Structure 1
């Protein structure tokens, strides 16, 4: 993709949101982030998203976001599409992040609806400003619940879509996401290509049967999400339910512990050396970890084995 003349590339499937690994001092671990990119590629994901809420983006500085997004795009090297998260409450910062991501080769730009813009017209003004600054870039509006985003109702989203045709995708995370997804697909303008699910993949079966273009979960079970989406594409609905049911215990823990769960699983699997997180939130204690260990044992046959991970990542198991 030319940095100055990006073209529209349709996206669908599994686009996990990379976390941001930190070292023991709390600094971003760029090498660790690149390792996680290689893990996702080895899982066969359709694409990668970075940064997002699961990346602790709210605790990353603008220079860190620029450096880390560039590292992801460099490591991916065009092998799969990358959706770059460029959300900010400040339109000028969003535009700077967006222009840098497009120049580095991002396929699409994910922008959350700012919570302080309380009307459809205020949201339209914000997204229009971004669309003008990055002409022909593909935008994805991330409809995040308060307090991170505005949690917009479908009628408001449809008004924004009609006014800003550069928004080709919605990531719907305001609940009930399935019903909202159905309404957007039924009433959306021709410029709306697809709606993605998020929320850690906890509602993926409902979203897929309603026509979701894809899903953007956390990454700790990426190969299982890939297998589930492959079953969906093959029309094997029983397999979709089976895989979802087997993942559900881990997804339930992730709903509560978020970054702590993701980083614990990634460290347990030898993918990151440190579980340090910047975002506040509950941490797994010993009993929680024992539960997660048991859940991972229950699905070990669905995960890439340690020796295969070591080979694909260039690590020693």
Structure 2
């Protein structure tokens, strides 16, 4: 039995009927979007991405995020990709689709969130507005409006101050959760995330957190109460195995595996466009899709960065088998 298959049988959460937010615990990868060399969306490749990630034993996926290049997709492209994903999740009780709302205008965010719920999403991932430095009250009003519009569908609030410049303190988020019971989780991407995760857990009500940022600070996040991880998806099997080892109590093995991965992800996370480009090349090397193209503006991997990817694939060959087409 492979590590991914073991994870599927030993760490998948037991979810009471209707409590889909529990499916986001554990490893919840953010799906990437392959493009052709000409820059067109590779929809067939995206379906292979969906099938691959769901085959690793995870119980949820998130789309689209920064790792999906959401900011480089047209509305029509995004809608078609969402439909492909939901075809694989909407009729399954054991897998949750977490679909993102990143619209800046509150009116557009509310309408978008409602459409996603009608289409069959299980949870909404809400990125608060951040263009032109909205006031804290404007951000709170935006979040409240989306929470009200989709209730009782659970919502994951994305806290990414490094990428967005927008910040909400733990007490404010807890206050929103007291007003709106469908605020189910917070995705924490502060650097470092641990203190904020602990602060969320100390609120009334306590708010569970999942950690992003490629899991660079995963061990500390787990010690401070994180219940899940949302990394990119090209090496999902490694993250599933790390999580399985932590869940099983094999902390030394889990920390060792994370320590081996850390030189790669800590370098890639120096820049968001860098990790997008790196993960795409990993997927191409594994045979998941054909082109590592990223839409401009994008990071162009140099020879040493490409060699680093080849070293990763060699080092973790036991966990990252070829996927084929």
Same fold at TM > 0.5: yes
Correspondence 1:21 to 2:34: yes
Q: What SS does the corresponding residue of 2:249 show, helix, strand or coil? A: coil
Determine the C-alpha separation between the residues in 2 that align with 1:100 and 1:155.
30
Aligned residues of 2:144 and 2:176 also touching (Cα < 8 A): no
* Closer/same/farther in 2, CA of residues 133 and 69 from structure 1, 3 Å limit: same
1:182 alignment counterpart: 198
The Cα of 1:29 is off from its aligned counterpart by 1.3
The DSSP-based 3-state class of the residue aligned with 2:156 is strand
- Which residue is equivalent to 2:68? 55
Aligned partner of 1:129 in structure 2 is: 145
Q: Provide the C-alpha distance between the structure 1 equivalents of 2:293 and 2:175, rounded to a whole number of angstroms.
A: 41
Q: Deviations over 1:20-50 (max 9, x none)?
A: 1111221211111110011112221221111
Return the match for 2:239 from 225, 228, 231: 225
Residues 109-135 of structure 1: CA distance to partner in whole angstroms, max 9, x if unpaired? 000121256444322211121122212
Cα distance, 1:221–1:291 mapped onto 2, change above 3 Å: same
Match of 1:48, SS state, is: strand
**CA distance in 2: counterparts of 1:250 and 1:146, whole angstroms:** 20
Partner residue, 1:195: 209
Residue number in structure 1 paired with 2:177: 161
CA separation in 2, counterparts of 1:168 and 1:29? 33
Of 195-204 and 94-103, deviating more is: 94-103
Deviation at 1:149, TM superposition (A): 5.3
Aligned equivalents of 2:49, 2:79: Cα separation in 1: 18
SS in 2 for 1:284: coil
Partner of 1:97: 112
Is it true that 1:214 corresponds to 2:222 in the alignment?
A: no
**Alignment check: 8 A CA contact 1:113 1:149 kept:** no
Q: Is the 8 Å Cα contact of residues 86 and 110 (structure 1) preserved in structure 2? A: yes
Give structure 1 stretches of 5+ with no counterpart.
1-5
**Other-structure match for 2:314:** 297
Aligned equivalents of 1:146 and 1:42: distance in 2?
32
Aligned to 1:115, which of 130, 135, 138?
130
Q: Return the offset for 1:104.
A: 2.5
Q: Which residue of 1 aligns with 2:46?
A: 33
C-alpha separation between the residues in 1 aligned to 2:205 and 2:74?
36
Question: With structure 2 as the length reference, what TM-score do the two structures score?
Answer: 0.86
- 1:236 corresponds in structure 2 to 250
2-structure distance, mates of 1:196, 1:188: 18
Change (3 A) 1:266 1:188: farther
The residue number in structure 2 matching 1:268 is 285
For each residue in 1:255-304, what CA deviation from the matched residue of structure 2 results, as whole angstroms up to 9, or x when unmatched?
1312110111010111111111125242211222112211221111222x
Contact 1:231 1:237 in 2 (8 A): yes
How far is 1:156 from its partner?
3.2
RMSD, aligned α-carbons: 2.0
Aligned counterparts of 2:58 and 2:103: Cα–Cα separation in 1: 27
- Corresponding residue number in structure 2 for 1:259: 276
Give 1:173 deviation, angstroms: 0.6
Task: Identify the residue that residue 246 of structure 1 maps to in structure 2.
Answer: 260
Unaligned regions of 5+ residues in structure 2, if any? 1-16
In 2, Cα distance between equivalents of 1:169 and 1:279: 33
Number of residue pairs the alignment of both structures matches: 301
